[in-house]
Structure 1
Amino acid sequence: MKMRNIIRNMLVQRKSLIVVLSLLTIVLTLATCKTTNNNIQTDINDKTTQIDQVSLSDTDWEQGKVTDYHTLTKSFLWNSQVDLFYQELDYQFAWFKDGRLTQNASELIATLESSWKEGFVAENYEIREIEMAIHELQDLASQEEEYRQVAAQLDILLSRSYLSYASDIANGRNNPQKIDANWETYPQKKHNLVKYLSVALKKDDIQKSLVELRPKTNQYEKLMTAYQKLYLSSQDRVWPLPAYSISRAVEENDSSGYVVRLKSYLFATGDLKTADSTYLSSPFFDNKLTEAVKHFQFRHGLEQDGIVGKNTQQEMNKSIDYRLDQIGVNLDRLRWLPDNLGDSYIEVNIPEFSLKYFESNQLITHMNVVVGRNKNYTPVLKDTLSYLVFNPTWNVPNSIATKEMLPKIKADSTYLARNNYVLLKSSYISKDTINPAEVEWSEITRDNFSYRIVQKSGRFNALGTIKFIMPNNHNIYLHDTPSHHLFSRAQRNFSHGCIRVEKPLELAQNLLEAQINNDSIYELLAGKEPKTVILDKKVAVHMFYHTAWVDKQGNLQFRKDIYSFDEKSITLLKRTESRQQLVAQGILE
């Protein structure tokens, strides 16, 4: 069949184009964009007008089955969920009634064409093939047998697209385990999508059923709205870049043509609030522009000095397409999370270098953190804080001892003693201390290093005065640090993977508030020996890698992709192979 071959070729080739009809529908949507639901309803009305033209007058249509005209088990459209779905329907047509596509079909097609609003790519849901099949049906209205064959293929396409979209909106499109990182995932939300689709069809509630699969968090709604607003800006081409690298920093009282472009850019991003054309065309860098630059720097986690230097320029020169992609992958990461993180929990956002502690879903404290450098990156974990250690010792990992400390020991025989380290034989709990002066260090290499190094408790201990333990396979925990000067820096990825906290005493007091009083905590700190306090109430710890979000003041925040996870995720999210191909490659679930 002509249509069968066309669709087969499309699914294999997967070219990255949307048909004119799809683009027209999106344009109509943009022109009337107020809210997501209103937009989709507009699309549905338009689509219904088109689909009403697709019909075949046939009194025995209801007696036909898709398997009469299409063999599922041999179909390139077939997958296990599609087969289960049609088994539930006894292989009846799902999206046709009296030979005509239903309102359910209208709602689904309009939703797929509007999938950009969720940060998706419409072609991943075979919208082009669906549109082509509809056009083909319009041409076959008088050819009953061929009409039914194309209708069967279209019915299966619609079912498969619904199940694919529903899975993506509920649990995310990307598979985080394919990012090549230590990224622990939460259990997928439990949805029997086959049953869910069957119920939605019976209720004639397709569009609503897909909306209800979205994450039920304020952050998702806010970020999705920000994405749509930015998308419209990209269509209007109102995102001028400063465009070229500058040879020196630009700051207040400077005057140049670059300042005009800078004003235009910051007005487009919303950081500069004035729309006065005379002001915008002036090449003078005044205090108003300084404040706008500071606001931009605040939204991007940069040092807020009001000077356009290298780092600020670098962020300003990110294209609007990159920012849309960045928001898209962060929307997807929100889909990986449960709707409820718990009553009391710690939240660490790695690219933001921040920690927040919540009790009864109220923010109790917020502080800066230092996370792992790129080669020792902090993994994205979900864990449970179990106990605290006051005046901890530090068991130096063998990798640090051999790679970083061994050269220093060889260069300075007093290095270990000066820094309060002890050298032990083969075990961290060994009682056999070794005098470093008795070791022939010239013969010791990384390969034959058999010792263990432990740093005693004290104010200069690398873990500071408190560590917060959440047992895990990566040996990652929270801790104090003697290097407090690092917390004042804008970018804080300096550790070996563990998380250094800016206000450890405040965090400990909040965690132990119902358990021991502050005087008891001070007594523990005053001692010289390690003391362990087990938490009566364990606290969940959620580590995130969010590089785009909307804050409580409504500011769209971005952060640098310090571990290149965004770069990998964007590539996966935008791929347009069929879902079956991606599942086979392990990229999707």
Structure 2
Amino acid sequence: MKLCLNKLNLVVTALIAVSASTFGQSSEAIRKYTESISSGLPTEVQGQLIYSTTLLPEFYFENQFERVWTRPLQASFLGLVRRSYDHGLNPADYHFSTLNQLHMDAVESQSTDAEILFTDAFLLYASHFLNGKLDPEEVEGEWQAVRREGNAKTFLQLCLASGNIEETFKQLKPESDSYGGLVKALRKYREIQAAGGWNELEAGETLKPGMAGSRVTALKHRLSIEGFFLMEEEPNDAYSEELANAVREFQVHHGLEADGNVGKLTLASLNIPATAKIAKLRANMERLRWISQDMGDHYVFVNIADFTMKVYRADTLSYQQSVVVGKPFRKTPVFSDMMTYFVLNPYWTVPPTILFNDVLPEVKKDVAYLKVKNMKVLKGNTEVDPQTIDWSKLSRSNFPYTIRQDP
């Protein structure tokens, strides 16, 4: 089964427009709806395209084409859809305006149109929380993480059996602290954006403690918007130690060298607009929805974006350290698996991509690079003195050695 998530992905060869007045408000009407939907042709209800062309007919067939959406259940689900915005999703994707209008009318709320649209919206919404809105393998070529199990139809049946959609739906939301932090951050940056965001800081010489001027004043204001700096009671344009500490905090937060100075890299990060941060937050929330939430009581979580590894025991952070990750053009693959063993202080054999793209060019410039990086050259199991090698003649197709970095 695959839910169709994007109207642009549909090749429309015909369109079946269905109305409640045609079929009447009965189980027979629902049956005819499902026949139309499962026919393979795009189907609209109240001008809304039906996405769940497989699960929706299956659900009503198993339910003997009976109605399930009472007005209280509708109200509960509409509340969830309204708050989907907080999770980086768009309520309009789930027929929100049309459903809200139908729900407000006592008669229309019990129409077959409303019944079908509420079910379609629920199945789509639940699938986005169960498996994400996008296919990770299409977005992330190196994605190998374990996906969440279950399907939206089973979850709809569970919600109906409980009679409490909102409470039961909590099971679908990612449980990690990271996801909760992203929800809060998204709210924060949307509020910042609604208030006007921040102005781009002017380029110029590196800003350092002891300097003063309008660029320093602008820097203070910029950092205060995100909460890194508290504006003084008596404003001034001096680059104080307090401001340097605020810059260091910003740099640590963004994975930059925490020197307290505003050079090119820090300036570029400061000038990333709030809209871009909002987009990044939404993307990361989607990534967390792709991942199975059952990590067990003891697990290791590597955050590629901020170069950190965290070890959790009973959902409590017990250890954290920095790690080395790939580059934008040679990304670290995303995966999840059971760890059966680990090696302390291992040798590191330089892989071919890094060897020929990074290490060999540096060695050709200066063979001392190997000593600085604590690397040795091996031929088989025998160590070779790098000074005896004519590095200029070596290439990807002619390289009889292995380079290994000692612990």
TM-score norm. by structure 2 comes to 0.75
Match of 2:343 in 1: 388
CA-CA distance at 1:328 after TM superposition = 1.5
The change in CA–CA distance for 1:349 and 1:390 in structure 2 (over 3 A counts) is closer
Matched letter for residue 206 of structure 1: I
CA-CA distance at 1:399 after TM superposition = 5.0
1:82 matches 2:82: no
- Listed one character per residue, the Cα deviations across residues 519-577 of structure 1 (whole Å, up to 9, x for unaligned) are xxxxxxxxxxxxxxxxxxxxxxxxxxxxxxxxxxxxxxxxxxxxxxxxxxxxxxxxxxx
Contact 1:423 1:436 in 2 (8 A): no
1:221 matches 2:180: yes
Question: Does 1 or 2 have the higher relative contact order (CA < 8 Å, sep 6+)?
Answer: 1
Matched letter for residue 345 of structure 1: Y
Match of 2:257 in 1: 303
The change in CA–CA distance for 1:238 and 1:362 in structure 2 (over 3 A counts) is same
1:234 matches 2:193: yes
1:123 matches 2:92: yes
Alignment gaps of 5+ in structure 2: 1-5, 11-19, 44-49
Distance 1:152 1:443 in 2: 77
Match of 2:15 in 1: none
Contact 2:254 2:306 in 1 (8 A): no
Matched letter for residue 341 of structure 2: S
Match of 2:224 in 1: 267
Contact 1:401 1:453 in 2 (8 A): no
Distance 1:267 1:181 in 2: 38
1:421 matches 2:377: yes
Match of 2:290 among 331, 336, 339: 336
Distance 1:346 1:364 in 2: 10
Distance 1:440 1:229 in 2: 58
Match of 2:74 in 1: 105
Distance 1:61 1:317 in 2: 57
How is 1:495-510 mapped onto 2 (pairs within 5 angstroms)? none
- Listed one character per residue, the Cα deviations across residues 160-179 of structure 1 (whole Å, up to 9, x for unaligned) are 11111112123322322122
Contact 2:251 2:258 in 1 (8 A): yes
The change in CA–CA distance for 1:325 and 1:64 in structure 2 (over 3 A counts) is same
Contact 1:65 1:93 in 2 (8 A): no
CA-CA distance at 1:205 after TM superposition = 1.6
- Listed one character per residue, the Cα deviations across residues 314-336 of structure 1 (whole Å, up to 9, x for unaligned) are 11212222212212122222223
RMSD: 4.2
Matched letter for residue 225 of structure 2: A
CA-CA distance at 1:222 after TM superposition = 3.0
TM-score norm. by structure 1 comes to 0.54
CA-CA distance at 1:353 after TM superposition = 1.9
Distance 2:25 2:260 in 1: 70
Contact 2:212 2:237 in 1 (8 A): yes
- Listed one character per residue, the Cα deviations across residues 465-497 of structure 1 (whole Å, up to 9, x for unaligned) are 3xxxxxxxxxxxxxxxxxxxxxxxxxxxxxxxx
1:212 matches 2:171: yes
1:114 matches 2:83: yes
Distance 1:374 1:210 in 2: 36
Contact 1:176 1:183 in 2 (8 A): yes
Matched letter for residue 386 of structure 1: Y
Question: What is the aligned-residue identity percentage?
Answer: 23
Match of 1:196 among 138, 151, 155: 155
1:67 matches 2:31: yes
How is 1:138-537 mapped onto 2 (pairs within 5 angstroms)? 151-190=111-150, 192-235=151-194, 237=195, 239-241=197-199, 243-274=200-231, 276=233, 278-279=234-235, 282-358=236-312, 363-383=317-337, 384-388=339-343, 392=347, 397-398=351-352, 420-424=376-380, 446-447=396-397, 449=398, 452-455=400-403, 461-462=404-405, 464-465=406-407
Instruction: Give the aligned length.
Output: 377
Contact 1:416 1:422 in 2 (8 A): no
Matched letter for residue 273 of structure 1: L
Match of 2:46 in 1: none
CA-CA distance at 1:250 after TM superposition = 2.3
Match of 1:95 among 69, 84, 97: 69
Contact 1:253 1:285 in 2 (8 A): yes
Other structure's SS at 1:356 match: strand
